[in-house]
């Protein structure tokens, strides 16, 4: 029996989906908040624990710098557009929006600034606009249509000339203000709120939105924060914070606030072992890279000098929405550790695959294993399981390389011991996160509609998780061996120290004896 709430099945009558057209920052500004925009976005009255620390951590990242790095398809002089994002927006009934990938941070901002949900307007020879409660309402507690008041009357007819030129848009806002002010329980438009009437004739809603970002930097994070709606602010906060701090976590959340929504989270740290030098180009404002790299060349026993680098990395996926037709998926993937290697995962590579003769529009969130056009996944739970299945396999493969290299190099146990303990701590966090999720959250994914074989997803994830646990056991064995050898070494060093002490004592006695002999000899010489 599934534990998934029935509220999330199908389009909901208790929601005004046009609320998704208003960003969280616009909403808060409209309510009179004049805080710094970072504080404004990060502040959540329902989450007070650790608030200041999270804000400062995010601010340190946003105020940091990002230097340009050359990736496989980039020009050596850095003149190529810096593509870092992939976006897929579509509606179950209306199909997908026009393909626009790959995207720079500026391109992503342009796309995300468009309205997700088509305004419920009727276009006649003159523009007849029904003022939307979602856009007009400024009361933070009113997330659904009020019971009282009739909002079905036709809106005021507005002369189209009022909105033809930018210089006269104020006229349109003024007319809307007059129409809205008559609706009981509805506040006027807040200054600066966008009306957003322009819409491509055949463009569908972005009911399901997928956002994929490689090597999340401060500019792209700013774009996401400034374009997120009120309902997406909380899950995006979690995604950004856990990705920046590199925390391991898997969870299913149903925030207590209304209207109800769901949050599926997958945050997984790992290390990438690479045979070349590389470093993270993203740096905090206070100094230091976002991800650390460790030169482990001392573990290389081959002849000659071959650099070996251990790179911190992280994957983050958060899916949040109000039902199985309206949701957003965020995915952040670190790829910096592959440098100019052709195997590096880039949004440009995904685009080249789509544009090739026999390619497909590979979904990067699923590591390219799903065709985003031919077989889009609409159910958020099934999509989450698909992502976990393929990305957990990627993490396991990287950990396998780390553990294998560490095992082969274990003869240098003095230096390896501290490193293996640190790695074990991270791998234990990852294993515990997956194990906790399987124990507490797996029930939410049973009984997927129109998916009689949904159990195979969990079965395969459990099999992959079994491999990850096996690697943890191997790493625990290596740590235990390291402690054993360290103990033997300490005993050996103590014996050496005792032996040195004995020798020093013996030398001291011999020196004293020699001094006594010399004194006696000198005394006898004087007497003679």
Tens digits of per-residue pLDDT, 201-239?
Answer: 678 888 899 999 999 999 999 999 999 998 899 999 999
User: How far is the C-alpha of 121 from the C-alpha of 106, rounded, in Å?
Assistant: 29
Give residue 526's pLDDT.
Answer: 43
Domain residues for the domain of 306 are 6-115+202-482
Beta bridge partners of 319: 264, 329
Are 223 and 279 contained in the same domain?
Answer: yes
Segment 19-72, tens digit of pLDDT: 788 888 888 877 766 778 888 888 776 665 445 668 888 999 999 988 877 777
Domain boundary among 482, 502, 518: 482
Residue 500: inside a domain, yes or no? no
Are 135 and 89 contained in the same domain?
Answer: no
User: Which residue reads 């230091």 in tokens?
Assistant: 288
Residue 294: inside a domain, yes or no? yes
- For the segment 345-356, the average pLDDT, to the nearest whole number, is 94
Tokens of 74: 């980039």
Give residue 452's pLDDT.
Answer: 66
Are 99 and 143 contained in the same domain?
Answer: no
Q: Comparing 286 with 175, which gets the higher pLDDT? A: 286
User: How far is the C-alpha of 439 from the C-alpha of 271, rounded, in Å?
Assistant: 25
Spatial neighbors of 424 by CB under 8 A, at least 6 apart, are 472, 475, 476, 479
Residue 77: inside a domain, yes or no? yes
Segment 412-463, tens digit of pLDDT: 666 777 888 889 899 999 999 999 999 998 888 887 776 666 678 888 999 9
Taking the mean position of all CA atoms in its chain, how far away is CA 110? 21
Segment 234-283, tens digit of pLDDT: 999 999 999 999 989 999 988 877 778 899 999 999 999 999 888 899 99
Are 256 and 156 contained in the same domain?
Answer: no
Are 168 and 207 contained in the same domain?
Answer: no
Residue 54: inside a domain, yes or no? yes
Are 133 and 69 contained in the same domain?
Answer: no
Segment 491-520, tens digit of pLDDT: 654 554 455 455 445 544 544 544 444 444
Give residue 169's pLDDT.
Answer: 33
Which pTM was predicted?
0.74
Spatial neighbors of 278 by CB under 8 A, at least 6 apart, are 293, 309, 311, 336, 337, 338, 339
Are 104 and 246 contained in the same domain?
Answer: yes
User: How far is the C-alpha of 230 from the C-alpha of 25, rounded, in Å?
Assistant: 8
Are 219 and 72 contained in the same domain?
Answer: yes
Give residue 187's pLDDT.
Answer: 38
Residue 414: inside a domain, yes or no? yes
Q: Comparing 458 with 8, which gets the higher pLDDT? A: 458
Spatial neighbors of 266 by CB under 8 A, at least 6 apart, are 250, 315, 316, 317, 318, 384, 387, 388, 391
Are 100 and 127 contained in the same domain?
Answer: no
471 pLDDT exceeds 90? yes
522 pLDDT exceeds 60? no
Residue 274: inside a domain, yes or no? yes
Q: Comparing 426 with 330, which gets the higher pLDDT? A: 330
Give residue 159's pLDDT.
Answer: 37
Taking the mean position of all CA atoms in its chain, how far away is CA 417? 31
Number of domains, the chain: 2
User: How far is the C-alpha of 521 from the C-alpha of 500, rounded, in Å?
Assistant: 31
User: How far is the C-alpha of 193 from the C-alpha of 211, rounded, in Å?
Assistant: 25
Give residue 335's pLDDT.
Answer: 96
Spatial neighbors of 250 by CB under 8 A, at least 6 apart, are 265, 266, 267, 268, 388, 433, 434, 436, 437, 441
Spatial neighbors of 130 by CB under 8 A, at least 6 apart, are 120, 121, 122, 154, 155
Contacts 24+ apart (CB under 8 A), 449-456: 449/9, 449/324, 449/379, 451/379, 451/382, 454/382, 454/385
Segment 61-99, tens digit of pLDDT: 999 988 877 777 776 666 788 999 999 999 988 888 999
Are 142 and 213 contained in the same domain?
Answer: no
Give residue 192's pLDDT.
Answer: 37
Are 300 and 264 contained in the same domain?
Answer: yes
> DSSP label at 13?
T
339 pLDDT exceeds 70? yes
Residue 195: inside a domain, yes or no? no
Task: Please report which confidence band the pLDDT of residue 147 belongs to, taking 50, 70 and 90 as the band edges.
Answer: very low
Give residue 211's pLDDT.
Answer: 98
155 near 131, Cβ under 8 Å?
yes
Residue 73: inside a domain, yes or no? yes
Are 330 and 477 contained in the same domain?
Answer: yes
Spatial neighbors of 137 by CB under 8 A, at least 6 apart, are 186, 187
H-type alpha helices, 319-379: 347-355
Segment 386-399, tens digit of pLDDT: 999 999 999 999 99
Task: Please report which confidence band the pLDDT of residue 324 belongs to, taking 50, 70 and 90 as the band edges.
Answer: confident
Peptide bond into 259 cis (omega under 30): yes
Other Cβ atoms less than 10 A from the Cβ of 481: the count is 16
């Amino acid at each position: 029996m599934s534990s998934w709430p029935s509220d999330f099945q199908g389009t909901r009558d208790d929601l005004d989906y046009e609320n998704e057209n208003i960003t969280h920052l616009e909403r808060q500004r409209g309510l009179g908040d004049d805080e710094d925009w970072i504080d404004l976005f990060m502040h959540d009255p329902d989450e007070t624990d650790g608030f200041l620390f999270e804000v400062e951590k995010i601010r340190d990242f946003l105020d940091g710098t990002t230097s340009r790095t050359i990736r496989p398809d980039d020009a050596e002089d850095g003149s190529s557009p810096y593509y870092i994002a992939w976006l897929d927006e579509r509606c179950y009934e209306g199909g997908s929006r026009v393909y626009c990938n790959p995207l720079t941070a500026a391109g992503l901002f342009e796309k995300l600034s468009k309205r997700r949900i088509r305004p419920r307007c009727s276009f006649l020879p003159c523009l007849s606009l029904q003022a939307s409660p979602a856009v007009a309402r400024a009361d933070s507690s009113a997330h659904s249509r009020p019971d009282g008041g009739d909002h079905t009357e036709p809106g005021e007819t507005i002369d189209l000339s009022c909105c033809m030129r930018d210089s006269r848009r104020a006229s349109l806002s003024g007319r809307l203000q007059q129409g809205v002010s008559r609706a009981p329980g509805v506040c006027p438009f807040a200054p600066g709120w966008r009306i957003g009437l322009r819409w491509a004739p055949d463009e569908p809603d972005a009911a399901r939105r997928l956002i994929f970002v490689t090597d999340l930097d401060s500019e792209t994070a700013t774009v996401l924060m400034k374009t997120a709606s009120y309902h997406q602010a909380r899950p995006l906060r979690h995604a950004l914070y856990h990705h920046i701090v590199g925390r391991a976590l898997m969870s299913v959340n149903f925030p207590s606030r209304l209207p109800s929504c769901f949050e599926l989270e997958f945050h997984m740290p790992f290390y990438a072992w690479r045979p070349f030098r590389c470093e993270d180009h993203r740096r905090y404002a206070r100094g230091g890279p976002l991800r650390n790299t460790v030169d482990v060349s001392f573990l290389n026993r081959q002849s000659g000098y071959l650099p070996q680098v251990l790179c911190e990395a992280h994957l983050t996926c958060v899916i949040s929405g109000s039902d199985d037709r309206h949701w957003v998926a965020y995915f952040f993937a670190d790829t910096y550790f592959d440098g100019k290697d052709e195997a590096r995962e880039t949004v440009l590579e995904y685009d080249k695959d789509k544009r090739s003769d026999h390619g497909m529009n590979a979904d990067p969130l699923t590591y390219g294993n799903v065709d985003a056009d031919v077989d889009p996944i609409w159910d958020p739970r099934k999509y989450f399981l698909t992502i976990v299945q393929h990305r957990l396999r990627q993490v396991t493969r990287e950990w396998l390389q780390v553990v294998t290299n560490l095992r082969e190099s274990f003869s240098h146990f003095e230096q390896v011991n501290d490193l293996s303990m640190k790695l074990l701590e991270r791998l234990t966090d990852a294993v515990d996160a997956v194990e906790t999720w399987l124990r507490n959250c797996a029930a939410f994914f049973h009984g997927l509609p129109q998916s009689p074989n949904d159990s195979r997803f969990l079965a395969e994830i459990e099999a992959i998780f079994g491999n990850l646990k096996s690697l943890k056991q191997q790493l625990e064995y290596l740590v235990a061996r390291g402690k054993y050898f360290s103990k033997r070494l300490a005993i050996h060093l103590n014996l050496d120290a005792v032996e040195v002490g004995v020798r020093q004592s013996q030398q001291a006695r011999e020196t004293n004896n020699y001094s006594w002999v010399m004194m006696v000899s000198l005394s006898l010489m004087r007497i003679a």
